[in-house]
């Protein structure tokens, strides 16, 4: 498919500088682009590529000042990164709706399942009793959709995903390969003889609209009630979310993070990779937790930034790091002070002896 600069600018509400009829048929990184490529510049360190790239059309920020001769047609927007992402999203929609349709065989679809319009279900997929799959949903091969699961319109379930009984997914949800939604929470009651008795996990998982879940991420069903992933949440690969956790709207969580049971995370939080969070705590809206931090208590002040293990205020940690870097010098100064004190003490003792 080919698109002109005018068509692209109309979609992203941009201003054209150059040929409005310039055409592109593919996207590429600016440093690797060729004739017919669409690219963008959002990071200042790539600005120098603007004057040497072979791309045909480039999306740039309104604020970018041109300092030399530019061959490609430019489209100026307020935020080049967001504009480019919007285009990719629209392109994906076109490809998705013009792609595979229907139910491939072999697969099992329960007679009581309700399948919407323009749905694709890949081979070797199991769809259980009373499942509801909305319009334009894509379920790729090898998936398990348990009884009473709901998947709303325009969602994509990639190969090998497992969704246990009773879980609910909103509209435009994306679940990447290997993810498991609704597995049992880690609930075991200790017994007097030292053994553990399993606590039945009878709740479910609710995933709201516009959530994306990375590959091999696991979200456990609630013991009772629901584990909730709210609207617009983005989860990276290899994340563990335990039973009865709630993740607030538009929170993003990076890979290898583990969240223990019954923790409530607020809206618009940013959690780095390999973060560990204990159970039964509250995390305020807008909290930012740096990578490899360990959070052991509730965060009650919104928009707090934390780091370390146990995690504490980021600005305080920077001051501590500065002091730590200066420890060798401080140690030498301390040794010199001790020598000086010893010399002064010796002199003082001599003067006392003379006076006597």
Q: Which residues are the active-site residues?
A: 243
Helix (H, G, I), strand (E, B) or coil at 307: strand
Cα–Cα dist 262/293, whole Å: 19
Q: How remote is the C-alpha of 266 from its chain's centroid? A: 15
CA angle 199, 204, 207 (to 5 degrees): 145
Q: How deeply is 43 buried, as exposed, middle or buried, from its count of CB atoms within 10 A (0-12, 13-18, 19+)?
A: exposed
Do 111 and 96 meet the contact criterion of CB atoms below 8 Å apart?
A: no
Q: Give every CB contact of residue 33 below 8 A, 6+ residues apart in sequence.
A: 39, 53, 54, 55
Q: Is 132 helix (H, G, I), strand (E, B) or coil?
A: strand
């Amino acid at each position: 498919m080919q698109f002109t600069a005018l068509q692209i600018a109309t979609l992203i509400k941009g201003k054209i500088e150059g040929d409005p009829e310039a055409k592109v048929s593919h996207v590429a990184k600016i440093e690797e682009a060729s004739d017919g490529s669409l690219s963008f510049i959002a990071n200042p360190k790539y600005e120098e590529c603007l004057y040497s790239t072979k791309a045909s059309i480039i999306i740039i920020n309104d604020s970018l000042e041109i300092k030399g001769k530019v061959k490609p047609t430019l489209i100026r927007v307020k935020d080049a990164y967001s504009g480019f992402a919007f285009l990719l999203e629209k392109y994906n929609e076109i490809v998705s709706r013009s792609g595979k349709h229907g139910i491939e065989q072999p697969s099992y679809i329960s007679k009581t399942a309700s399948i919407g319009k323009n749905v694709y279900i890949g081979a070797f997929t199991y769809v259980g009793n009373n499942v509801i799959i909305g319009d334009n949903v894509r379920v790729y091969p090898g998936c398990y959709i348990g009884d009473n699961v709901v998947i709303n319109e325009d969602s994509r379930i990639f190969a090998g995903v497992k969704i246990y009984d009773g879980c609910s997914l909103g509209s435009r949800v994306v679940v990447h390969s290997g993810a498991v939604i609704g597995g049992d929470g880690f609930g075991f009651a200790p017994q007097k003889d030292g053994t553990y008795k399993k606590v039945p996990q009878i709740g479910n998982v609710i995933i709201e609209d516009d959530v994306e879940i990375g590959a091999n991420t696991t979200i456990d069903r609630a013991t009772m009630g629901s584990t909730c992933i709210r609207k617009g949440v983005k989860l990276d690969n290899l994340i563990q979310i335990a039973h009865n956790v709630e993740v607030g709207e538009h929170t993003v969580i990076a890979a290898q993070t583990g969240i223990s049971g019954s923790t409530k995370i607020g809206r618009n939080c940013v959690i780095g990779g390999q973060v560990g969070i204990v159970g039964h705590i509250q995390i305020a809206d807008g909290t930012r937790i740096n990578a490899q931090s360990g959070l052991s208590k509730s965060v009650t002040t919104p928009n707090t930034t934390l780091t370390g293990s146990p995690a504490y205020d980021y600005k305080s940690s920077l001051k501590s790091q500065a002091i730590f870097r200066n420890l060798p010098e401080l140690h030498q100064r301390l040794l010199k002070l001790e020598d000086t004190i010893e010399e002064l003490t010796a002199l003082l003792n001599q003067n006392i002896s003379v006076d006597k």
